[in-house]
Amino acid sequence: MLNRVRDNISRHASQAYDGFQKSSHDCASIVKAHWKELASKGHFKESAYAAALVLLLFSTVMTYMVRRRRLAKNATRPSTPTTPSLEKASSGSSTPRNQGREWGKWVPSDFQMPKPDPYPDWSIEHTKPLPYRPFRYGPKYNVTMGLRSIKHLDWIELDNHYPRYHADKARRIKERGNKCCRTAPEAYPAAVELLEELVEYLPARYPSLYKRTAAGIDNLWSGESFDIITRPLPEDPMQTCARLVQDDLAIMIEKPDSQYYLLAGAILLAGFWRLEDKIGMPLSEIHTSGDVPQFKEKLEKGMLNFFRRLKPEEMVARNNYFMQVDDDLAWSWSIGSEDSADVSWNTAEKNRAIEHHYFRSERQTLRRLPKSGGVVFTIRTYFLPITEIAEEDYVPGRLASAVRSWGDDVSRYKGKERYGDVLLEYLDKKHKEQVERGLDLSREDEVRAYPY
């Protein structure tokens, strides 16, 4: 009986929130209704307990909702992102459901990505990178996919770091070519589809940088022209895609065993991993071979379920972060040569000066291509000196708390033992300086909500 009362109260409380001014009347009505129900059956003692529970639950829910509304009103960016149901592991049978089609056989969708509006006031000289700072206060570090839904117009983010990324990619393609950009035959249609999607999206979103042409696309800044019609294409389509954006790119293809395989990629600025090590691997092996903490226990089922259920109409994003103790965006040489058989944090110099510490953060998007069914990763890396981001309000204190929250497995994965002492000493110092100059710590949620 009390459980039913509680469920009814939760439902009525949500309805009352839409008309907050009449909440007192709603509360009284709910209490009266359930009091009569119990009292009519002679349960007077239970009636008193139910009434008390009603008032307690209602006041708690309303207090929470009012606080969230106040925070949302004052926040300059979205609050903690929601996680789509797609991230959850399937319940019941361990056998994956194919949603009415054979595994490995995609039925083309007629979905077309909406034409985006131009990015407001975008400039290759003045548009700064978005300040992603995707770390949370401890004491607990939660291992999740951390997905959030995004709008299609936000698919690709370009900014005034574009010239550096463009130059680094061109150099890497020239020097390393096939080691960094590959497309398996079965993924070629998906790679061509991705190129076509970018050619439609980029001139609409960034008209001062790109122009759509009859044959393809022109880069107005670099003077490059790309022909996507002539066959055979002049280069691997993934390589051409890489030249157009600041992101690294990867395509996962579903096979008849229901698993998703990395079969196309342009991984030029990854820092810590190499396409040649991962190409052809299924999704799970990509992560287990890289010793991703708690993948089997907390991520694998939900991740596979997400891939299988992802629709072309949906687009999601996630962020992560790492530390690096050298200044190379493309490859972190401190963990070893890019051509070494084995690379690891064990080769990194311990406790380098803080000037050598860099904050490396990825903003990843995932979407399904409607024609081929391939799942596309875009991986945009943001790369800044720790000494720069530590000048931002609230960042050093929150980052120090986040680093201290890493468990042993996460610490090993992120190489904390090689830089932790120097990093935390510096962050603590910068946090103390901010507090002493009067920074109001209670206003952080209003000023910079996750993932900023």
Task: Kindly report, residue by residue over 390-410, the tens digit of the pLDDT.
Answer: 999 999 999 999 999 999 999
pLDDT of residue 21: 44
Say which range, 37-46, 287-296, 350-359, 364-373, has the weakest mean pLDDT.
37-46
User: Taking 70 as the threshold, does the pLDDT of residue 24 lie above it?
Assistant: no
* pLDDT of 394: 97
Q: HSE-up of 5 (CA within 13 Å, CB side)? A: 26
Encoding tokens for residue 101? 């089609």
pLDDT band at 85 (very low <50, low <70, confident <90, very high): low
Q: What pLDDT score does 271 carry?
A: 95
Lowest mean pLDDT among 51-65, 68-82, 150-164: 68-82
What's the confidence (pLDDT) of residue 1? 44
Q: What pLDDT does residue 97 have?
A: 64
Kindly report, residue by residue over 219-237, the tens digit of the pLDDT. Answer: 999 999 999 999 999 999 9
pLDDT at residue 66 above 50?
no
Position 46 scores a pLDDT of: 54
User: Across the beta sheet with 216-219, what order do the strands follow?
Assistant: 210-212, 216-219, 225-227
For the chain, what is the mean pLDDT? 86
Does the structure show a pLDDT above 80 at 126?
yes
* pLDDT at 152 exceeding the cut of 60: yes
Residue 89 has pLDDT above 60, yes or no: no
The dihedral sign for the CA sequence 135, 155, 81, 90: negative
- Give the percent of the chain with pLDDT over 90: 73
High-pLDDT (> 70) share of the chain, %: 78
293: left (phi over 0), alpha (psi -120 to 50) or beta: beta
The confidence band for 100, taking pLDDT boundaries of 50, 70 and 90, is confident
Give the pLDDT of residue 28.
Answer: 46
pLDDT tens digits, residue range 162-217? 999 999 999 999 999 999 999 999 999 999 999 999 999 999 999 999 999 999 99
Query: Range with the lowest mean pLDDT among 29-38, 131-140, 363-372?
Result: 29-38
Query: Is the N-terminal amide bond of 370 cis, ω within 30° of 0?
Result: no
Q: What is the pLDDT of residue 12?
A: 46
- The yes-or-no verdict on residue 427 having pLDDT over 50 is yes
Q: Taking the model in full, what pTM does it have?
A: 0.80
| Cα–Cα distance, 164 to 156 (Å, whole number) | 17
Write the secondary structure of the chain as one string of H (helix), E (strand) and C (coil).
Answer: CHHHHHHHHHHHHHHHHHCHHHHHHHHHHHHHHHHHHHHCCCCHHHHHHHHHHHHHHHHHHHHHHHHHHHHHHHCCCCCCCCCCHHHCCCCCCCCCCCCCCCCCCCCCCCCCCCCCCCCCCCCCCCCCCCCCCCCCCCCCCCCCCCCEECCHHHCCCCCCCHHHHHHHHHHHHHHHHHHCEEECHHHHHHHHHHHHHHHHHHHHHCCCCEEECCCEEEECCCCCEEECCCCCCCCCHHHHHHHHCCCEEEEEEECCCCCEEEEEEECCCCECCCHHHHCCCEHHHHHHHCCCCCHHHHHHHHHHHHHHHCCCCCEEEEEEEEEECCCCCCECHHHCCCCCCCCCHHHCCCCCCHHHCEEEEEEEEEEECCCCCCEEEEEEEEEEEHHHHCCCCCHHHHHHHHHHHCCHHHHHHHCHHHHHHHHHHHHHHHHHHHHHCCCCHHHHHHHCCCCC
Distance (Å, whole) CA 309 – CA 61? 33
Q: Are 363 and 147 in contact (CB under 8 A)?
A: no
Overall average pLDDT of the 267-280 stretch: 96
Band of pLDDT at residue 78, cut at 50, 70 and 90 = very low
On the question of pLDDT at 139 being above 60, the answer is yes
Q: Please state the rounded mean pLDDT for residues 378-388.
A: 98
